[in-house]
Structure 1
Amino acid sequence: MGRKVTDQDGRTYPLPIPGSGAGGSNTRSYLMRRLQPHLPPWIGVAGVGVAGALGNWRWEGSAGAGVGLTLASVALTGATWWAGKTTSSQRRLHSAITVAAGSAWLTGACLAGPMTGALDDLYLIGGPVLALSWNVRLTLRTSDPAGENADKGLLERVGLARAQIGAAKVEPNRVTAPLLLDAGTQTNDDVAKALPGIASALDVPRTAVRYQPDPDSERRGELVIVPRDMLADTVRWEEEGPAFPGGSITDPLILGVYDDGAPLALWLPGDKKQGRNATHLLIAGMTGSGKGDGALNVQTEILTRKDVIMWLSDPKEFQDFRPLLPAYDWAVSAPADTEIMVETVKAVIPARTKWLGAHKYRQWEASAAREQTDPTHTCHDDGTACGCPGLPFHVVWFEEAGVSLGLLGDDAFNSIANLARSAGMALVVSLQRPSHDQMSTTTRDALGGRLCFGVPNATAAGFMLPDTVLDAGAAPERWANRRPGYCYLVTPGVPEERYAEPGRTRWFTDTSISLMETVAQWFARNGATVDPVTEKAAATVAGRAYTERRHVDVDAPNTEDDDMIDDNEPLVDADDEHIDPEQELPELQDGADAPLVQETGHKPTPEEARELFAQALQEFETAGQMVVGPKDFMDWCDRHQLSRPWVSARLKEAAEQGRLEPTNQTGRWRIKPSLTVA
């Protein structure tokens, strides 16, 4: 008799009752179960012996049987070798030797007799040896059921049966296993295609399985599996705050974490000691993917460093970045202002590279932002320290750049992207979709760094991530906008095996606004200010648009002028004191309603028109609109009865005289500030 036990899955098992006399039977059953897998080799040895005795009784001394048995032995051995091509090389060789030895003894036994000569000794010694060799192999194979056998089964199911998995490296929430593919029949591309099947077999998300091929081999790589998604728990930015407040821009910008808990780090400047190149950054993601919070993570990290300045163009009127306004050196929102900012950056680049070259910097480094007291970095020919003011790192950020590109044209950022890195500048371009109709391949490739959030489809992912990263398992279209903040980071300084690993940026809530304002106030008081080189180059191009740019005074009292009334100040102007407010207004006299300015219909003479045109250029400059074209003079032409072709001719004439300078856009001209012309 026995009692029944039900486990947590509802399965019921009978268990023996101690002392019921069933112990001996159970012992025998256990031994039989353990012995059964080892019996087939011994049964095979016994069968060969019986077959040899029967064959001798039938074919003893037969020459024809000898030929047939020999051919059969060779054919059977060859078939065994052919059938074992899908198995490991050790199993294939072991099987072939066993079949060859058994068939050779059987042929001799059938023709000469199993007891003739040394055949009986060979049978009694060789048979058990072969059987035991298979027993030992089975014991070694089944002693670790989670080892090679399980790995082979997984690879067989995904079409990589002949691949070999090495010893796995197990870390917290991360398993890394080296993979060796079959020579001549399998490549790293086969593994990339099999990744969805591996994820299915392991019952994990598609993004949890990655493959990092060895750059020096087409059949070696590492399979990385992250079983648990550590990104599911969102982290608020205000809970941790900036990573290195008061540090240098050369310190990593920490944006969040990877799915294994490692920090998601970004560098913008280069570092020759680390072998890291400077980079620009392209940020992209569909609506709702968390791109805005990702941009705030990057900006708050930048604006807590002491050796960097930032320019910002935001067509959304600083909707997301308004708490940070006091920290920007120059912030614009209007299309015309963005246009002049682009032209200004073009002029700033050669000025900064000239300064770096004169001070013997091959690329910008942290010491360049400080006063130049080191004779190694001096612009004096005699080698003495020059004491020149430092040159802070410079970040130029174009938010919603699709709008800017639509207005300025595809080539607007090309020269900036190609030259700015050598000037200690980083260009950050943020938009929803960097497709071919918005951004040229040249500009996209020059940006270098990529921060890719969720995208709607694989085509959009191809615009952001390199093919090698997609082949390694990156799939931002799997999230779309269902997991805000999930992203991939491809940038210098990050190991390439990290490129296909998803990360998540931190989340900005309404409660983070006060801390963002604190960051901006700290930077306004303690952060870097624009250097003389950059300031002079910017003023030379942008004029009042830069020199009279908006600044937010963080030390000003938080009061409004309309609410400040001096009780001792009279409420009526002195010129109006004689007016009686109760007296009726006098009646209008003849002609009193005539306009102050009479429309005469007078068309200016050519000399007058040129003077009016010069005044118009001065008015544009005063207003801070430093890039103009014929379309900007449409109302002016109607007012003065002048044609658009006449304006185009005057623009070219002004360019020849040095008042204007052509831009990369056809029909657009940059005004040279009056001081520069003088």
Structure 2
Amino acid sequence: MGRNRNETPVPALVQPAATSSSTRSYLVRRLQPHLPPWLGVAGLGLTGALGNWRWEGSAAAGVGLTLASVALTGATWWAGKSTSQQRRLHSAITVAAGSAWLTGACLAGPVTGALDDLYLIGGPVIALSWNVRLMLRTSDPAGESADKGLLERVGLARAQIGAAKVEPNRVTAPMLLDAGTQTNDDVAKALPGIASALDVPRTAVRYQPDPDSERRGELVIVPRDMLADTVRWEEAGPAFPGGSITDPLILGVYDDGAPLALWLPGNKKAGRNATHLLIAGMTGSGKGDGALNLMTEILTRTDVIMWLSDPKGFQDFRPLLPAYDWAVEGGADTEIMVEAVKAVIPARTGWLGSHKYRQWEAAAAKPQTDPKHSCHDDGTACGCPGLPFHVVWFEEAGVSLGLLGDDAFNSIANLARSAGMALVVSLQRPSHDQISTTTRDALGGRLCFGVPNATAAGFMLPDSVLDAGAAPERWANRRPGYNYLVTPGIPEERYASPGRTRWFTEESVSLMETVAQWAARNGAKVDPVTDKAAETVAGRAYIDRRRVDVDAPDTEDDDVIDETEPLVDDEDEGIDPEQELPELGDGADAPLVQETGHKPDPAEARQLLAQAIAEFEAAGRMVIGPKDFTDWCDRNGYSRPWVSERLKEAYLEGRLADAGRGRWRIVQQMSHA
């Protein structure tokens, strides 16, 4: 997975700071534009000495030099008509002062009277004034022609590039477009040409428009791909083990070396909204490793619980199973989990509201000892148990959406953020046939890995990010782990900057198992509010959910025989194994279950149906539909339409609740509750 660094030549616009090996050439190149004024002063002094040797005391030479000085000053003023007023005046004063001193030096001698002092003081002042003027210009002459030529080649000839800000492997240059003829969209269209002219990858050039102007923005160029070298997850591990979910979740690095981070809870002081997250990428793009990066970050925080739905049977996440509060493998179990989430949301928002939290914050996860967050009317501290943050993760959500429909996700995606919950939805292609636009927009945050084409990129990334230069289709699955992150809490100019998540190898499994064991012992436990709401809806499916007791002693192997135990049951102790079996009598081969041919009457059928519903409930299957009664219909001679009508009757009686798409959720009876 390791890659060699690409050594790319960097043009004048994007030259980073010089290294020690090129210090001399760098200094020479930087000093060259400032040498002409000093060369002019030196030449003026030499000319004065030669002129004095030739014309000392000559009246005719004095007249000629005076006229020449006046003519040269006038010509300079006239030639400066096309320049700025400041440059015109500066040039004329320089020429007038220099020609006046030269006239005096030629006639009287350069060291006569005050002429030498004027030369030693005035000469450097004149030269330095031009040096200062050069440094205050908006662009460097050494790179001006190259930059102008670059912009001209890409169709932005009238645009202006300001002084570039050079950082390690990142150059940011302000751009000012021609008023009335150029817009920020023109720069977005020209980005491929700029990348070609600079000989860098297309993803190395981005443009961030100024939101307050249609002709201003910043051109960002990253000359060298710092993501080429793969970083293994086990080399660093989780970023903040034992920290809070409010700390940043570090997934990897950006292409300039900055940490790739996101947040799920909101923060009012930081101006950051809570968010859900949509993860997408084609097969082989590194989406699985990216999910593991995020998941291990979440599971090592002490104020968060996680529910997981994975139709792949925990293929990637099995080492982490002890850390989940509830994990299901998809299908009917995911239906139950979704129904539980629907019930948990109002219970959690009610708790937050009664404890005076406008949104979830870290203090909500701790026992409520602060009177400001008390549910008591008298203002005293209530001491209620805290409410941990709650992450619900739907892996390969395209499968779940196909079974449940978009309505199931729409309702929870729009309300869960207010309840201190975050949904993480992961799938390969978030197209309209996989996930609705409403649900996709409600998820907010996007972690986009390589995709097969620009159309797929448009499903994940906003148009403004694509216009700024983001192009995940350029990688496809050839650079696993490369991604774009769009989420609250990071600057918008970072949205179009590629990052890379860390790589999980076979050696990382043992560390993942250690993380899971640590989380099971030290992580947050489900709160009473969430626990009661989920149990009320999901019943045995939640009560008997997958849990791993990390403190339980190792059990004995079932294949090991205890030599102290008898090998034969007591009732079989007198049987001789060598004796022949007795002959079968008449009727001994009759079936144990006789076909009666009896069809239950309507009242009996309703009773049998109610009994079947109770059996589903006892088995933990809390979401059912007519197709689940196929075997029952075959045994009793009834059709699925008949079952559908009876289920509707049970719904009217309050035994079932509508779960959508022709499915029903079993409502626990008081005796069961």
Same fold (TM over 0.5): yes
Tell me the residue number matched to 1:672. Answer: 667
Task: Give the C-alpha shift of residue 564 in structure 1.
Answer: 4.2
Q: Tell me, yes or no, if the aligned pair for 1:659 and 1:671 is still in contact at 8 Å.
A: yes
Matches of 2:309 and 2:505, distance apart in 1: 23
| 1:259-286 Cα shifts (integer Å, max 9, x gaps) | 0000000100000010000000000000
Task: Give the C-alpha shift of residue 565 in structure 1.
Answer: 3.2
User: Which secondary structure state, in structure 2, belongs to the residue aligned with residue 222 of structure 1?
Assistant: strand
Matches of 1:227 and 1:617, distance apart in 2: 65
Amino acid at match of 2:580: E
Tell me the residue number matched to 2:319. Answer: 323
Q: Tell me, yes or no, if the aligned pair for 1:176 and 1:225 is still in contact at 8 Å.
A: yes
Pick aligned residue for 1:424 from 420, 426, 434: 420
Amino acid at match of 2:664: W
Task: Give the C-alpha shift of residue 208 in structure 1.
Answer: 0.4
Tell me the residue number matched to 1:195. Answer: 191
Tell me the residue number matched to 1:179. Answer: 175
Higher mean C-alpha displacement, 495-504 vs 156-165 = 156-165
Pick aligned residue for 1:242 from 235, 238, 243: 238
Tell me the residue number matched to 2:499. Answer: 503
Matches of 1:649 and 1:374, distance apart in 2: 53
**TM-aligned CA distance change 1:613 to 1:213, over 3 Å:** same
> Does structure 1 residue 161 correspond to structure 2 residue 171?
no
Q: Which runs of 5+ in 2 are unaligned?
A: 1-35, 41-77, 93-129
Tell me the residue number matched to 1:381. Answer: 377
Task: Give the C-alpha shift of residue 149 in structure 1.
Answer: 2.2
Matches of 1:568 and 1:313, distance apart in 2: 45
> Does structure 1 residue 487 correspond to structure 2 residue 483?
yes
User: Which secondary structure state, in structure 2, belongs to the residue aligned with residue 177 of structure 1?
Assistant: strand
Pick aligned residue for 2:214 from 211, 218, 224: 218
Higher mean C-alpha displacement, 240-249 vs 588-597 = 588-597
Q: Tell me, yes or no, if the aligned pair for 1:238 and 1:515 is still in contact at 8 Å.
A: yes
Residue correspondence of structure 1 range 95-494 to structure 2 within 5 A: 145-494=141-490
> Does structure 1 residue 649 correspond to structure 2 residue 645?
yes
Task: Give the C-alpha shift of residue 140 in structure 1.
Answer: 6.3
Tell me the residue number matched to 1:56. Answer: none
User: Which secondary structure state, in structure 2, belongs to the residue aligned with residue 413 of structure 1?
Assistant: helix
Task: Give the C-alpha shift of residue 484 in structure 1.
Answer: 0.1
> When the two structures are superposed, what TM-score results if normalisation uses the length of structure 1?
0.79
> Does structure 1 residue 639 correspond to structure 2 residue 642?
no
Tell me the residue number matched to 1:125. Answer: none
User: Which secondary structure state, in structure 1, belongs to the residue aligned with residue 598 of structure 2?
Assistant: coil
Tell me the residue number matched to 2:527. Answer: 531
What is the number of residues matched between the two proteins?
559
Amino acid at match of 2:665: R
Tell me the residue number matched to 2:24. Answer: none
Amino acid at match of 1:658: G
Matches of 2:174 and 2:378, distance apart in 1: 58
Higher mean C-alpha displacement, 444-453 vs 582-591 = 582-591
Amino acid at match of 1:661: A
Task: Give the C-alpha shift of residue 646 in structure 1.
Answer: 1.4
Task: Give the C-alpha shift of residue 556 in structure 1.
Answer: 2.7
CA-based RMSD: 2.6
Tell me the residue number matched to 1:15. Answer: none
| 1:214-249 Cα shifts (integer Å, max 9, x gaps) | 111111111100001000000000000000000000
Tell me the residue number matched to 1:662. Answer: 658
Matches of 1:479 and 1:200, distance apart in 2: 17
Tell me the residue number matched to 1:629. Answer: 625
Matches of 2:384 and 2:280, distance apart in 1: 39
| 1:16-58 Cα shifts (integer Å, max 9, x gaps) | xxxxxxxxxxxxxxx9xx99xxxxxxxxxxxxxxxxxxxxxxx
Task: Give the C-alpha shift of residue 410 in structure 1.
Answer: 2.2
Matches of 2:214 and 2:665, distance apart in 1: 53
Q: Tell me, yes or no, if the aligned pair for 2:140 and 2:163 is still in contact at 8 Å.
A: no
Amino acid at match of 2:657: E
Amino acid at match of 2:148: K
Tell me the residue number matched to 2:593. Answer: 597
Matches of 1:211 and 1:334, distance apart in 2: 42
Task: Give the C-alpha shift of residue 555 in structure 1.
Answer: 2.0
| 1:169-223 Cα shifts (integer Å, max 9, x gaps) | 1000000111111111111000000111111111100000000011111111111
Matches of 2:417 and 2:662, distance apart in 1: 29
Q: Tell me, yes or no, if the aligned pair for 1:658 and 1:677 is still in contact at 8 Å.
A: no
Matches of 2:351 and 2:421, distance apart in 1: 13
| Identical counterparts, % of pairs | 84
Q: Tell me, yes or no, if the aligned pair for 2:289 and 2:502 is still in contact at 8 Å.
A: yes
**TM-aligned CA distance change 1:357 to 1:271, over 3 Å:** same
User: Which secondary structure state, in structure 2, belongs to the residue aligned with residue 254 of structure 1?
Assistant: strand
Q: Tell me, yes or no, if the aligned pair for 1:659 and 1:677 is still in contact at 8 Å.
A: no
Matches of 1:412 and 1:224, distance apart in 2: 42
Task: Give the C-alpha shift of residue 150 in structure 1.
Answer: 2.0
| 1:579-605 Cα shifts (integer Å, max 9, x gaps) | 111111111111011111101010011
Q: Which runs of 5+ in 1 are unaligned?
A: 1-30, 36-76, 99-135
Matches of 2:243 and 2:163, distance apart in 1: 41
Task: Give the C-alpha shift of residue 558 in structure 1.
Answer: 3.9
Matches of 1:252 and 1:592, distance apart in 2: 73
Higher mean C-alpha displacement, 633-642 vs 668-677 = 668-677
Task: Give the C-alpha shift of residue 144 in structure 1.
Answer: 5.2
> When the two structures are superposed, what TM-score results if normalisation uses the length of structure 2?
0.80
Q: Tell me, yes or no, if the aligned pair for 2:465 and 2:495 is still in contact at 8 Å.
A: yes
